[in-house]
């Protein structure tokens, strides 16, 4: 069974918090129902013996300084925290433990570059069918990606405003108007925050990709489908994506995710080009992370999506390698979205439950009865989308997770 908290001792994700008594944003780790104040621990000398640890790293309003330390340093910090939390005294709890219900979460890293991928075969096939097309042949040779806008990033809990944009109806004779989006959608993805930088001019070897990843969050790539439909050709999405991207507040580190490494589930054909071919153990090519999305509307819950990160066609390691394959470099705090994580999973009554956005459910074979009965097609003002991610730790037999990635849709500006 899943634990009552996504943050047992097996997890210890990092985030940035503030409190009413201390409104200064600073670094913390989540443990059970508490945020552990890492800045205060560091001021008290808790991390002084760890080689490579940077003084004051946890007092910063972002995790970039800590994320830039060597992975060996981060592993020792994690080990110190595990031992401390397993034996914390009552006075330790009074001094360093803050109830999660009392903290305000902030974006966990300062981000210079945000990119978003399009790497689910199920998603690509469904979107192509909707447009009456075949999946482009180049999709099978490179992980498709576009550059997003860092200004779109929001931490979970912040509302997302319905955007305005240029849209038109079907057919060339339809009028073109500037209006509020009427086809607002979500996309269930994961976000990957980067740690070790790569100087511009260098090319990343996939064998070294792991050392550049700090950790994962859940990411909602909000999408205005009517705006997207008009602006996509010839340069791809812009306003249809740039108005909002919500991320969960706690970064689950790549160390914490080691027990859930797994093989890919979707064969790649044709085989990847040599620079994108995974050269490690096939059992460590990706991660087994169960993901879900639900919509809350007028007191009713609609369970829309149940999927898994391992079902992407292109893995996060391949995506990261592609990002740095032309010498652009990587920066600490950069984030990329994995792309919509759809799969072909069926629920107990034979409906497709693995589709990670509403657009794909336009196809008759992809519809859910609960949506049909209540006329749920796209998101309305006041709707709240809640995403979760969970992993099963094979050694402890317990689940750990990412917390919630949630946001309410608020009306467009007048």
Report pLDDT digits (tens) over 351-374: 999 999 999 999 999 999 999 999
**Catalytic site includes residue 212:** no
What is the distance between the alpha carbons of residues 256 and 10, in angstroms, rounded to a whole number?
7
* 228 assigned to a ligand binding site: yes
Under the banding of pLDDT at 50, 70 and 90, the label for residue 1 is: very low
Catalytic residue, candidates 80, 123, 275, 303? 123
Q: Report the DSSP pairing between strands 286-287 and 34-37.
A: unpaired
The 10s digit of each residue's pLDDT in 369-405 is 999 999 999 999 999 999 999 999 999 999 999 999 9
Q: Is the CB of residue 215 less than 8 Å from the CB of residue 252?
A: yes
Other beta carbons within 10 Å of 70: 14
158 is known to lie in a ligand binding site: no
Which tokens is 214 given? 């700090």
Sorted by sequence, the CB contacts under 8 Å of residue 208 that are 6+ apart come out as none
Q: Please, what is the Cα angle at 68 between 152 and 100, to 5 degrees?
A: 60
Q: Is the pLDDT of residue 174 over 90?
A: no
User: Which tokens in the block code for residue 98?
Assistant: 């803050």
What is the rounded average pLDDT for all residues in the chain? 97
According to the annotation, is 86 in a ligand binding site?
no
3 pLDDT tier (thresholds 50, 70, 90): low
- Give the residue-averaged pLDDT of 319-341: 97
340 marked as binding residue: yes
- Please count the other Cβ atoms lying within 10 Å of the Cβ belonging to residue 325: 16
Q: Is 116 annotated as a binding residue?
A: yes
Residue that the structure tokens 């007191």 belong to = 299
Q: Which helix (H) or strand (E) holds 66?
A: helix 64-67
pLDDT at res. 132: 93
For residue 348, the cross-strand partners are none
pLDDT tens, position by position, 213-256: 999 999 999 999 999 999 998 988 999 999 999 999 999 999 99
Please name each of the domains of the chain with its CATH number: 14-106 (2.30.30.230), 114-159+184-221+237-410 (3.90.850.10)
* Residue 2 in this model has a pLDDT that exceeds 70: no
245 is in an annotated binding site: yes
Residue 169 has pLDDT above 90, yes or no: no
pLDDT value, residue 139: 98
pLDDT above 70 covers what percent of the chain?
A: 99
Per-residue confidence (pLDDT) for residue 346, from 0 to 100: 97
């Amino acid at each position: 069974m899943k634990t009552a908290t996504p943050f047992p001792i097996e997890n210890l994700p990092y985030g940035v918090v503030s409190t009413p008594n201390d409104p200064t944003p600073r670094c913390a780790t989540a443990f059970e129902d508490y945020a552990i104040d890492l800045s205060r621990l560091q001021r008290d000398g808790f991390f002084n013996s760890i080689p490579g640890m940077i003084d004051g790293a946890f007092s910063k309003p972002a995790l970039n300084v800590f994320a830039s330390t060597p992975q060996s340093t981060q592993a020792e910090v994690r080990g110190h925290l595990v031992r401390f939390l397993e034996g914390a005294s009552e006075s330790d709890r009074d001094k360093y433990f803050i109830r999660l219900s009392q903290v305000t979460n902030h974006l966990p890293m300062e981000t210079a570059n945000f990119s978003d991928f399009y790497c689910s075969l199920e998603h690509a096939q469904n979107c192509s069918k909707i447009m009456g097309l075949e999946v482009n042949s180049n999709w099978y040779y490179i992980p498709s990606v576009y550059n997003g806008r860092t200004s779109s990033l929001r931490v979970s809990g912040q509302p997302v405003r319905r955007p305005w944009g240029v849209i038109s109806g079907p057919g060339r004779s339809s009028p073109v108007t500037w209006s509020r989006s009427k086809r607002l959608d979500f996309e269930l993805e994961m976000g990957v925050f980067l740690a070790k930088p790569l100087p511009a001019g260098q090319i990343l070897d996939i064998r070294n990709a792991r050392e550049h990843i700090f950790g994962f969050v859940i990411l909602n790539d909000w999408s205005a489908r009517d705006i997207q439909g008009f602006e996509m050709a010839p340069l791809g999405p812009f306003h249809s994506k740039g108005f909002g991207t919500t991320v969960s507040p706690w970064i689950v580190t790549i160390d914490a995710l080691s027990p859930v490494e797994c093989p890919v589930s979707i064969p790649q054909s044709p085989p990847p080009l040599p620079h994108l071919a995974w050269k490690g153990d096939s059992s460590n090519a990706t991660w087994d992370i169960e993901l879900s999305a639900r919509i809350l509307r007028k007191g009713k819950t609609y369970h829309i999506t149940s999927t898994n990160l391992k079902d992407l066609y292109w893995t996060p390691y391949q995506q990261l390698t592609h990002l740095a394959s032309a010498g652009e470099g990587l920066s600490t705090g950069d984030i990329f979205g994995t792309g919509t994580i759809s799969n072909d999973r069926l629920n107990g009554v034979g409906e497709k439950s693995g589709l990670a956005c509403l657009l794909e459910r336009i196809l008759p074979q992809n519809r859910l009865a609960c949506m049909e009965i209540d006329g749920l097609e796209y998101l309305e003002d006041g709707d709240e989308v809640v995403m979760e991610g969970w992993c099963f730790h094979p050694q402890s037999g317990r689940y750990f997770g990412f917390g919630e990635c949630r946001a309410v849709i608020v009306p467009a500006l007048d």
